[in-house]
Amino acid sequence: MAMSFAALAGFVVGALAVLFYRNQIEAPRRAVATDDVETGAALPQGVASVLAVLPSSAVVLDAHDRVLRASSAARAFGLVKGDRLMAAELLALARQVRRDGEIRESEIDVAGHKFGQETTNFAVRVAPLGSYGQVLVLAEDQTERRRVEAVRRDFVANVSHELKTPVGALSLLAETIQDAADDPEAVSRFAGRMQHEAARLNYLIQDLITLSRIQGAEPIPTPGQVTIDESIHDAIDHCNTKAAAKDITLVFGGTEGLRIWGDDELLVTALRNLIDNAVAYSPEHTRVVVSVRPAGDSVEISVSDQGIGIPEESLERIFERFFRVDAARSRATGGTGLGLAIVKHVAAAHAGEVSVWSKEGSGSTFTLRLPAFGGTAVAVPPSIPLEAAQ
């Protein structure tokens, strides 16, 4: 990215330099006032056209630091107001370049955000333009790139940590079994622990594979007609053992016969993660309710529990990868911290969304809203074949 920006900046500077040179050679044959050019009050012919097609923020300053030309991006980011360059760091760079004629590159953070950002990070390149004290400033917004890099670093660090825990546990347990080879009871107990850690490692790997498959929010490659009832029953079957261990009843209700257009395996995965979470964060002898209802051109699937709830300050972060409201409880139950991130990406892959309502001490409700098959949420009686209902 930095290389491509430098190459683009070099090309632009070169192109503008050629235009300035041609302008100065052909000046006597054009009806351009010499005084205007010498005082830097006007741009040579063709320069404005080059600046207009640049994707980055571009500003041309005259010898007195007045803005002669600024791209719409430069004004949108707040770099320019009227005929003034607002970023003090850029102005200082421009003055240095004007004094010694050397091209300078830097990175700056500019307040006065765009699209909700507190600051915008720019890679900047400042170059002299012509021989009348004019200066070209190019600024490339790299805020999103830096954010993506930070997310990638966090993801790698989190994955490394999550993998290290079960792998380390397996290593220690193997050593313990070796030392306790003459104690069948201890061997059996530690072998069970090894199976638990191996299963945890397998869940993490499977969740990573699923997340990498869908996190690009790309359309599902081979969508089909999905019957919601069947997907919910499959998800509940996956979670019954965990629920029974805590005497938690899984209940399915609402409108039957609704369908969506999508991927049945992905939908079951999302529902299984929601139900698993509800069971993990609910006390014993409670209920988890899965309900379905039509909502115009969409189908809403809700999973409600009577669990501990989610603090208000955590609601905005619960769909982040590896974020845990209660890390100790999650690790104790074998959670990978990827379940809700998978749910979010499954919803996006179906052109839908997921939302949450929660109150501490009163439980939580997660709702998947997915486009209905055929554009309208219509229930199909079980006795009618799906093909005949189209």
Residue 313: which CATH number? Answer: 3.30.565.10
User: What does the pLDDT average to over 318-322?
Assistant: 80
* Coil/strand/helix, residue 110: strand
* Coil/strand/helix, residue 106: strand
**What Rg, from alpha-carbon coordinates, does the chain have?**
31
User: What does the pLDDT average to over 214-222?
Assistant: 68
CA distances in angstroms from 185 to 170, 177, 267, listed in the order given: 18, 10, 42
Domain shared by 275 and 361, yes or no: yes
Domain shared by 226 and 363, yes or no: yes
Domain shared by 123 and 238, yes or no: no
Query: Would you say residue 389 lies in a domain?
Result: no
Asked if the model's pLDDT at residue 20 lies above 60, the reply is no
- The length of the chain is 390
Phi, psi of 42 (to 5 degrees): -145, 155
Cα–Cα–Cα angle for 300, 301, 303, rounded to 5 degrees: 140
pLDDT at 384: 45
Domain boundary among 109, 142, 175: 142
Domain shared by 223 and 332, yes or no: yes
* Tens digit of each residue's pLDDT (9 = 90 or more) over 223-258: 889 999 999 999 999 899 889 989 999 999 999 889
User: What does the pLDDT average to over 320-332?
Assistant: 63
| CA 159/CA 374 separation, integer angstroms | 40
Residue-averaged pLDDT of the chain: 79
Domain shared by 274 and 363, yes or no: yes
Query: Would you say residue 107 lies in a domain?
Result: yes
pLDDT at 45: 60
Asked if the model's pLDDT at residue 13 lies above 80, the reply is no
Domain shared by 233 and 367, yes or no: yes
Euclidean distance between the first and final Cα of the chain, in Å?
A: 49
Q: Which range, 71-80, 107-116, 157-166, has the best average confidence (pLDDT)?
A: 71-80
| CA 281/CA 379 separation, integer angstroms | 32
Query: Would you say residue 235 lies in a domain?
Result: yes
Query: Would you say residue 196 lies in a domain?
Result: no
CA distances in angstroms from 79 to 104, 124, 346, listed in the order given: 18, 12, 39
| CA 39/CA 198 separation, integer angstroms | 75
Nearest to 134 by CA among 202, 74, 85: 85
pLDDT at 334: 53
Residue pointed to by tokens 């069948």: 184
- What proportion of the chain, given as a percentage, has pLDDT over 70? 76
Residues spanned by the domain of 98: 51-142
Instruction: Work out the number of other CB atoms within 10 angstroms of the CB of residue 298.
Output: 20
Domain shared by 224 and 368, yes or no: yes
Is-contact 292 258, C-beta < 8 A?
yes
pLDDT at 292: 95
Domain boundary among 142, 163, 188: 142
Name the token pair of 129. 């333009």
Residue 62: which CATH number? Answer: 3.30.450.20
- Helices (H) and strands (E) in the chain — how many of each? 12, 14
pLDDT at 202: 81
Q: Considering its fold, how many domains does the chain have in total?
A: 2
| CA 164/CA 371 separation, integer angstroms | 40
pLDDT at 385: 44
Domain boundary among 110, 142, 174: 142
Domain shared by 366 and 224, yes or no: yes
Query: Would you say residue 363 lies in a domain?
Result: yes
* Tens digit of each residue's pLDDT (9 = 90 or more) over 143-174: 888 877 877 777 777 777 777 878 888 888 88
- Buried/exposed code over 108-143 (b: 16+ C-beta within 10 A; e: otherwise): bebeeeeeebeebbbbbbbbbbbebbbbbbbbbbbb
Query: Would you say residue 83 lies in a domain?
Result: yes
Query: Would you say residue 188 lies in a domain?
Result: no
Query: Would you say residue 207 lies in a domain?
Result: no
pLDDT at 89: 87
Instruction: Work out the number of other CB atoms within 10 angstroms of the CB of residue 311.
Output: 13
Q: What are the E-state strand segments in the chain?
A: 57-61, 67-70, 80-81, 84-85, 104-111, 119-129, 134-141, 224-227, 249-254, 259-262, 287-295, 298-304, 353-359, 363-371
Residue pointed to by tokens 């209700």: 253
Cα–Cα–Cα angle for 250, 254, 256, rounded to 5 degrees: 105
Residue 223 vs residue 28, higher pLDDT: 223
Domain shared by 251 and 365, yes or no: yes
pLDDT band at 185 (very low <50, low <70, confident <90, very high): confident
User: What does the pLDDT average to over 322-344?
Assistant: 69
DSSP labels, 162-184: HHHHHHHHHHHHHHHHHHTTT-H
User: What does the pLDDT average to over 347-353?
Assistant: 90
Instruction: Work out the number of other CB atoms within 10 angstroms of the CB of residue 163.
Output: 14
